[in-house]
Amino acid sequence: MITLIVGTNRPGSNTRKVATLVEEIYTALKVPLHVLDLAKLPPEIFSPASYAEKPKAFRPFADAILQSSGV
């Protein structure tokens, strides 16, 4: 599966708008696509302690990238 990354948390983000359009196109083509919105990253990932041990809430984000055939 391809993972599309939305890399901003700005309200009204053009990146998010484009990602929504791309998602609609892939859906119409019946091509599996996963949208990974970095605005939904858990806040604890930004703690310096997360370098030593990743928070459990981060696992779905890591798995999405690791299981992708393309990003």
Which pLDDT score, from 0 to 100, does residue 21 have? 97
Which pLDDT score, from 0 to 100, does residue 8 have? 86
Q: Which residues of the chain have pLDDT under 50?
A: none
Largest CA distance in the chain: 42
Residues 51, 60, 30, CA angle at the centre, nearest 5°?
140
Considering the entire predicted model, what is its pTM? 0.73
Span 6-19, pLDDT tens digits? 988 888 889 999 99
Give me the percent of the chain exceeding a pLDDT of 70: 100
